[in-house]
Structure 1
Amino acid sequence: MDVDDAVPAAGGGPGAGPDTREGDLALLRAYEPVIRYTAGELFLPTAVDAYVARAGLWRRRPGERRDECLAQSGELTLERLAAEGERFAADGLYLRLVDRPMDGAEYRRWRREGAQPSFRPSSRFAAVGLFARLVDAGLRLSILLRGTLPGGTRAAAHRLYVTHMQPNDHPYYARVSRDGGYVALQYWYFYPMNDWRSTFSGINDHEADWEQVTIFLGETLTGSLRPAWVAFSAHDEVGDDLRRRWDDPDIEFVGTHPVVYAGAGSHAGAYLPGEYVTTVALTWPNRLAAALRQMARTVLPWARDMPETIAGIPFIDYHRGDGPGIGAGERRAWHPVLIDDDTPWIRAYRGLWGLDTRDHFGGERAPAGPRYERDGAVRPGWANPVAWAGLDEEYPTAEHGAVLRESRASWLERRLAEIAVEIDVHRRTSRELRASDRARAAYTSHAGADKTRRRDRTGYGRDGRETIAWLHTEQTALREELDAIVRARTQPPIEAPHAHLRRRALPLAADAPRRRFLAIWSAASVSVMLAGVALVVISPPIGVLWSFAGLMALMLAIEAAARGRLVRFAATMAVAGAVVFAVLGAVEVVVRNWRAGAAAVLILASCVLLVGNLRAWMTTR
């Protein structure tokens, strides 16, 4: 779509009249996204009322281990959900779709029925490194100790979905808000389950899933609307990285409808089809890192640039788009439902939309609804969509940019005139003092002249020179800024579509390693390592420490060879060995000759102190 195409504006908000709601609905239908799924996807967007009708409502009672059932499956409606949410607003509420997971026989019968479409995974282990595979193995073993969805839940949820939730009816829950010169069109999609782990070898499963797409229309100076930005809910993106410009070449369109490639089982959005390496952050290491980072920032300025996430596990997120699609040009169509802050079940129910597993890692717990986070706080994306997408500093249209540049130019011209006056005043004062000092020097003794020069160095003369220098620096910078604005009047600036991105999410390259040896090694490496550790523990050939070091070196060498990086690995190991040898040699010299080392340190300290004291004495003369 041409970004210069504009549509008339339509007002709206809570309590809007029928005409306004019709206008909002027309805007939503004009830009509603197309979502394409991966072949093998079990759960597509469904109606919340059908889901609620099959779910039970539970309350976590403070101080008690057993939860209270407020409504059994078949007893709940959206109206009752809102009422119970209002009644127990301070308590932890959650829905539970699956009362009893399928046992082994039922699960095998479900598989024989062909309920699960075929899916051909790629070698996800080949796409991540050895360390990630080790952590992945540890997490999978820890599933037995974590609060997670029990086995057979996916199959039971799918049977309920197919039987009771009209799987061929696909609503989205839409909201229109206005702020900062933007009209935000929010599309919320509800899925009965996230089965990323059990179906597609991801990291988590949980009952219920809410995802969203937000399209931002910029209000032009004439009052019409122009599509400007689009933001998909995603795993790794926050702030500026969430959004893409409407003319971004990564976005595919069907007419005016952007295409979203949904993650298999995870339902997160991607702009380009393919397979992505997604890093799932580990909660506790990153909390510890955040605390350390906050402490470090007070004494280490560079700590401000430390990454927010230091510990995470990479997984493959499939966004192939080779499965079913919904929207313009697809066999399935959307059914829009308008929501806002006054929608009772949106506003009153703060609980989770699926089983609360009490998973301390967070990934296995069901999500809250469109308006709330799991802790009951209002979502930033709901309360302030413009700020959530990092658009507070982005003007809505190019016309607004031209007006704002002219406003800035007027301020620059006024400030430059003020600076010119300030420079003249300080320059005249400095010259007057210089003339006075020279006159006094001509009629005083040598000592008196020396005192005058010292007064000139410590009095207004020095301060005046520094002030004038600072004003000249500011003047130069502002003149350059004004010159750029003047040039922009005839040659408007053109910014690259990806200029605002810190990290552009891209799928794995088509030529990513898929060799047979790498695939076999990546699948077997963790088992080989565990077996090697067992052998070292039982009978270390050259001592436990050196045997472990040799095992790790061998594993890393095989990993490097499988990825075609053996030469680089050998060079890295050679450099690391040289550094370790040098450090150990230095330590040995210091240990054997500790007296000489201590004396050298003391002499160096005395020299440093002497130089510092001499400098201080010279400056006070």
Structure 2
Amino acid sequence: MSEHEDVSLLQRFEPILKFSRDEQFFPYNVDDYVNKSSLWVKEPKLPPREIIAAGELELEHLGHLKLEGARTVHYLQFSSLMNLAEMAEYRLNELRKTIKTGKFNPSRSRLARVGYLARLVDTAFSLVLLLRGRVPGDSAVAAMLTFKEMLAKNRSFQYYGRVIRDNGWIVLQYWFFYPYNNWRTGFYGANDHEADWEMINVYAYEDQQGDVQPAWVAYANHNFSGDDLRRHWIDPELQKVGEHPVVFVGGGSHASYFTEGEYLMELSLPILSFFSKYKNRLNHLFSRVTQNNQTRANDEEKSQRIFSIPFVDYATGDGFSIGFGCEASWAPPVVIDPPPEWVTNYRGLWGFYAQDPFSGEDAPAGPRYNRDGTVRLAWFDPLGWAGLEKVVPPFEQGAMLASRKADLQNGINDLTREIDELQRRCYALGFDLMVIQDSSHLQPEVVELNRILASERETLAKKRRRLTVEQAKLEAISEIDVEDAPPNMALLRAHIKHSHKPQEKRSLRFNRVAEIWAAVSIGLMIIAVVLLVIFARPFLGYGLVGLLLLMITIEAAFKRQLANLVRWIAIILAVFSLMVLVVQFFWYIILAGVVITGVYMIISNLRELFSRR
């Protein structure tokens, strides 16, 4: 197809982006961004060096750049540091704005959503953030002011599109470039970094009349991959306006969601996954013992992992919006397939290189590349990225059904012939064995025949088991009607293992006090432990147990879980009492068990004896 037809397709399904209140950065064109940026290089053991100054850099320069050195990092720098006067002026203006219109305020503290262990891990993460490389604190402010100047000169909102035709699918890929990710400084998230490339895919196909029909969409997201990224076009979770899918964009993070809400994101630490696994098993056992399925049935509680760092992504959709019927419209798309040179040749970072060992504060590479210079999965395999490599396009399902029926029937016929042949061979071996097994001079042959017969019998059992499975598959496939069957939503959502569900808006008892407690509890606990060590060392054990019980009780009271706490304590005390009894009367219990076993054996044997008469 021509580029004009590709542009028409992209515009037909172009998404509607709904942002959270107080979002400061929106999809923009890379030309103006690059022109406002400088180009730098960081070589091993050398300080960063500026190559091209801001104002002199053009997008074409990135396409002609020769990047050399496996450990050399090229990067753009969008924002320059502010002086104290500029920062003070900005803070004063923000204060005036806050007084007039208010500012972003989360509905509930992120720390109040999780327990003590997650808060403790979060404290450690915050301390590590002070030591590792990160974007300077005033970088977000400088980027915000620069972007406002850019919008004042050119208030247009841009996306970059690709149309990929792959094995019956038409993939419409929408790339959005944000000048800055201010998740940490703007929305209490995990990280900040200059530049942010985000994307969504719409998967369509041509029907028998040659018309393009949408089938699936997939949104890029922090904690999800593969099958979990996509929803069917008729899935009620996917909101649409006409043929335009609605994307709820995370505040500052720019992650994409199907439904508006607040999403608890948890950065799991691999070093603590061992403890998390056994914590989940203990919770499962507890729910079975108490016959309380409420916790297991609640998706929010199931998803929380105590050995992780909690962050909230605010995709509330109550702010600015771009797209069909919104307050702002999209500029004509820029098609990047075939990719221009700035996409293909520039493997460097699109913003500041903070030298963060975890890479969270480093800018990303372009739409084609990962930070390490390898090609993104979403770029070279958009079907596999969303788990669609195994899904047949709708217009090919009838042919696939007929083909699979024929293949299965042929396989069943082949298996039947093989089984018949193996059965005859087993008959022959069994007959030979019956004839010669009493001949003393043929005993070595008897041993060999027994070995061969055992092997053939095992092979025959495997083939019969395989035949049963193949027959069941053919029976199941024969019952499918791909032409007239109504859509089965359960099947269309069966691929989802972890759904994108926002947190339920639950109230805490004494909500504001509970949030303050969540913020100070870990610090108070650390101080209390130190005081116990200094002033009450002889009673340290009792003090720690008392402190733990006090903190658990306070937390349970705030979260309305005192009943669960009482059940836990009752079970622990019962188990402890049982252990004490077992230790105290160990030999009596063993002897009683032996006596009971003997009595049971006598009764069982006498019952069998008298039942014969």
Judging changes above 3 Å, is the alpha-carbon distance between structure 1 residues 241 and 130 closer, same or farther for their aligned structure 2 residues?
A: same
Judging changes above 3 Å, is the alpha-carbon distance between structure 1 residues 341 and 586 closer, same or farther for their aligned structure 2 residues?
A: farther
Aligned partners of 1:380, 1:522: CA distance in 2, in Å? 40
| Matching of residue 47 in structure 1 with residue 29 in structure 2 | yes
Q: Match of 1:121?
A: 106
The 10-residue stretch of structure 1 (551-560 or 379-388) with the greater mean CA deviation from structure 2? 551-560
Matched letter for residue 355 of structure 2: R
Q: Match of 2:600?
A: none
Equivalent of residue 242 in structure 2, options 235, 251, 255: 255
Aligned partners of 1:363, 1:565: CA distance in 2, in Å? 36
Offset at 1:323?
0.3
Equivalent of residue 494 in structure 1, options 485, 488, 498: 488
- SS in structure 2 of the partner of residue 276 of structure 1: strand
What are the superposed Cα offsets for residues 284-337 of structure 1, whole Å, 9 maximum, x if unpaired? 778999xxxxxxxxxxxxxxxxx9x99531211101100010001101001121
Judging changes above 3 Å, is the alpha-carbon distance between structure 1 residues 440 and 375 closer, same or farther for their aligned structure 2 residues?
A: closer
Say whether the 8 Å CA contact 1:200–1:264 is kept in structure 2. Answer: yes
Aligned partners of 2:255, 2:474: CA distance in 1, in Å? 44
Equivalent of residue 315 in structure 1, options 296, 311, 317: 311
Q: Match of 1:406?
A: 402
Say whether the 8 Å CA contact 2:62–2:346 is kept in structure 1. Answer: yes
Offset at 1:63?
2.8
Equivalent of residue 146 in structure 1, options 116, 132, 150: 132
| Matching of residue 182 in structure 1 with residue 169 in structure 2 | yes
The 10-residue stretch of structure 1 (222-231 or 453-462) with the greater mean CA deviation from structure 2? 453-462
- SS in structure 2 of the partner of residue 543 of structure 1: helix
Offset at 1:62?
2.6
What are the superposed Cα offsets for residues 336-387 of structure 1, whole Å, 9 maximum, x if unpaired? 2111353121112111111111112221111111111111111111111111
Q: Match of 1:599?
A: none
The correspondence of residues 2-151 of structure 1 with structure 2, limited to 5 A, is: 11=1, 20-64=2-46, 66-84=47-65, 91-103=72-84, 104-112=87-95, 114=97, 118-123=103-108, 124-151=110-137
Aligned partners of 1:375, 1:359: CA distance in 2, in Å? 13
Identical amino acids, percent of aligned pairs: 36
Equivalent of residue 378 in structure 2, options 346, 356, 381: 381
| Matching of residue 558 in structure 1 with residue 554 in structure 2 | yes
- SS in structure 2 of the partner of residue 57 of structure 1: strand
Q: Match of 1:215?
A: 202
* Structure 2 gaps, min length 5: 277-302, 588-613
Q: Match of 2:610?
A: none
Aligned partners of 2:28, 2:37: CA distance in 1, in Å? 14
Q: Match of 1:347?
A: 344
Q: Match of 2:422?
A: 426
Matched letter for residue 508 of structure 1: Q
What are the superposed Cα offsets for residues 40-95 of structure 1, whole Å, 9 maximum, x if unpaired? 1111112211111111111012331x111011221111112323355789731111
Judging changes above 3 Å, is the alpha-carbon distance between structure 1 residues 135 and 439 closer, same or farther for their aligned structure 2 residues?
A: closer
| Matching of residue 266 in structure 1 with residue 253 in structure 2 | yes
Aligned partners of 1:156, 1:396: CA distance in 2, in Å? 47
Say whether the 8 Å CA contact 1:270–1:319 is kept in structure 2. Answer: yes
The correspondence of residues 228-243 of structure 1 with structure 2, limited to 5 A, is: 228-243=215-230
Judging changes above 3 Å, is the alpha-carbon distance between structure 1 residues 585 and 208 closer, same or farther for their aligned structure 2 residues?
A: farther
| Matching of residue 358 in structure 1 with residue 325 in structure 2 | no
Q: Match of 2:466?
A: 474
Offset at 1:182?
1.3
Offset at 1:108?
2.0
Aligned partners of 1:155, 1:110: CA distance in 2, in Å? 12
Q: Match of 1:367?
A: 364
Aligned length: 550
Offset at 1:489?
4.1
Aligned partners of 2:137, 2:434: CA distance in 1, in Å? 94
Judging changes above 3 Å, is the alpha-carbon distance between structure 1 residues 440 and 339 closer, same or farther for their aligned structure 2 residues?
A: closer
Aligned partners of 1:102, 1:143: CA distance in 2, in Å? 23
Say whether the 8 Å CA contact 2:180–2:196 is kept in structure 1. Answer: yes
Q: Match of 1:164?
A: 150
Aligned partners of 2:414, 2:306: CA distance in 1, in Å? 48
The correspondence of residues 582-597 of structure 1 with structure 2, limited to 5 A, is: none
Aligned partners of 2:168, 2:361: CA distance in 1, in Å? 38
Q: Match of 1:16?
A: none
What are the superposed Cα offsets for residues 570-605 of structure 1, whole Å, 9 maximum, x if unpaired? 333444455567779989999x9xxxxxxxxxxxxx
Aligned partners of 2:339, 2:445: CA distance in 1, in Å? 76
Judging changes above 3 Å, is the alpha-carbon distance between structure 1 residues 352 and 134 closer, same or farther for their aligned structure 2 residues?
A: same
Aligned partners of 2:173, 2:433: CA distance in 1, in Å? 72
TM-score normalised by structure 2 residue count: 0.82
Indicate the RMSD between aligned Cα atoms, in angstroms.
3.3
The 10-residue stretch of structure 1 (554-563 or 539-548) with the greater mean CA deviation from structure 2? 539-548
- SS in structure 2 of the partner of residue 556 of structure 1: helix
Matched letter for residue 525 of structure 2: M
Judging changes above 3 Å, is the alpha-carbon distance between structure 1 residues 152 and 440 closer, same or farther for their aligned structure 2 residues?
A: closer
Aligned partners of 1:177, 1:74: CA distance in 2, in Å? 35
Matched letter for residue 81 of structure 2: R
Q: Match of 1:396?
A: 393
Judging changes above 3 Å, is the alpha-carbon distance between structure 1 residues 102 and 190 closer, same or farther for their aligned structure 2 residues?
A: farther
The correspondence of residues 590-605 of structure 1 with structure 2, limited to 5 A, is: none
- SS in structure 1 of the partner of residue 143 of structure 2: helix
Matched letter for residue 313 of structure 2: D
- SS in structure 1 of the partner of residue 312 of structure 2: strand
Q: Match of 1:301?
A: none
Aligned partners of 1:283, 1:361: CA distance in 2, in Å? 13
- SS in structure 2 of the partner of residue 105 of structure 1: helix
Judging changes above 3 Å, is the alpha-carbon distance between structure 1 residues 344 and 580 closer, same or farther for their aligned structure 2 residues?
A: farther
Matched letter for residue 319 of structure 1: A
Equivalent of residue 277 in structure 1, options 258, 264, 270: 264
Q: Match of 1:293?
A: none
Aligned partners of 1:464, 1:137: CA distance in 2, in Å? 64
- SS in structure 1 of the partner of residue 495 of structure 2: coil
Offset at 1:520?
3.6
| Matching of residue 567 in structure 1 with residue 563 in structure 2 | yes
Aligned partners of 1:273, 1:482: CA distance in 2, in Å? 43
Q: Match of 1:503?
A: 498
Q: Match of 2:287?
A: none
Aligned partners of 1:135, 1:436: CA distance in 2, in Å? 72
Judging changes above 3 Å, is the alpha-carbon distance between structure 1 residues 471 and 437 closer, same or farther for their aligned structure 2 residues?
A: same
Say whether the 8 Å CA contact 1:175–1:186 is kept in structure 2. Answer: yes
- SS in structure 2 of the partner of residue 32 of structure 1: coil
Aligned partners of 2:135, 2:579: CA distance in 1, in Å? 50
Aligned partners of 2:446, 2:583: CA distance in 1, in Å? 51
- SS in structure 1 of the partner of residue 97 of structure 2: coil
The 10-residue stretch of structure 1 (340-349 or 51-60) with the greater mean CA deviation from structure 2? 340-349
Aligned partners of 2:364, 2:583: CA distance in 1, in Å? 54
Q: Match of 2:591?
A: none
Aligned partners of 1:425, 1:207: CA distance in 2, in Å? 69
Aligned partners of 1:85, 1:565: CA distance in 2, in Å? 61
Matched letter for residue 499 of structure 1: A
TM-score normalised by structure 1 residue count: 0.81
